[in-house]
């Protein structure tokens, strides 16, 4: 079963995403921020990250950079309530697979997650 990591400082968003992923047959682990994620080793087995852009503490873009610095190649999908062209361009230029504005279309998000999981499973370990 695919493992999706959710990082969002809003507990309601995390709960909603966990329910959506479970209904699609996907396992998930959620974190309230980037520091909590990096302190936990469970993310090493992930197939995809769902990252909020604006969070208390470390932003999603900063977390993306930290993951890149660690050589992490797990696909990243960004979710944000505060979309702007520069942020989206920066996230995608740094390798994000997709960028969704909240509220997002659940079917489109699940399709992007399917693509991310396929890419993650195709990469050499």
Q: What is the pLDDT of residue 41?
A: 81
Q: What is the pLDDT of residue 62?
A: 97
* Strand residue runs (E) in 21-107: 27-31, 48-52, 76-80, 98-101
Domain that holds residue 44: 3-122
- The number of domains in the chain is 1
The residue count of the chain comes to 125
Q: pLDDT tens track of the chain, all 125 residues?
A: 899 999 999 999 999 999 999 999 999 999 999 999 999 987 888 999 999 999 999 999 999 999 999 999 999 999 998 877 899 999 999 999 999 998 999 999 999 999 999 999 997 76
CATH number of the domain encompassing residue 34:
3.40.50.2300
Tell whether the torsion through CA atoms of 111, 117, 121 and 124 is positive or negative.
positive
- Which of 41, 86, 27, 35 lies closest to 60 in space, CA to CA? 35
Tell whether the torsion through CA atoms of 49, 52, 58 and 64 is positive or negative.
positive
Give this prediction's pTM.
Answer: 0.94
Q: What is the pLDDT of residue 125?
A: 61
Q: What is the pLDDT of residue 115?
A: 97
């Amino acid at each position: 079963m695919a493992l999706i990591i959710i990082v969002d400082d809003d507990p309601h968003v995390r709960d909603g995403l966990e329910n959506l992923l479970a209904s699609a047959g996907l396992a998930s682990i959620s974190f309230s921020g980037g520091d909590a994620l990096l302190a936990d080793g469970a993310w090493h087995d992930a197939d995809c990250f769902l990252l909020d852009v604006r969070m208390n503490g470390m932003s999603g873009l900063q977390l993306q950079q930290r993951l890149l610095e660690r050589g992490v190649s797990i696909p990243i999908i960004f979710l944000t309530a505060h979309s702007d062209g520069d942020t989206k361009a920066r996230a995608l230029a740094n390798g994000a697979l997709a960028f969704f504005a909240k509220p997002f279309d659940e079917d489109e998000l699940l399709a992007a997650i399917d693509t991310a999981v396929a890419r993650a499973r195709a990469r050499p370990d």
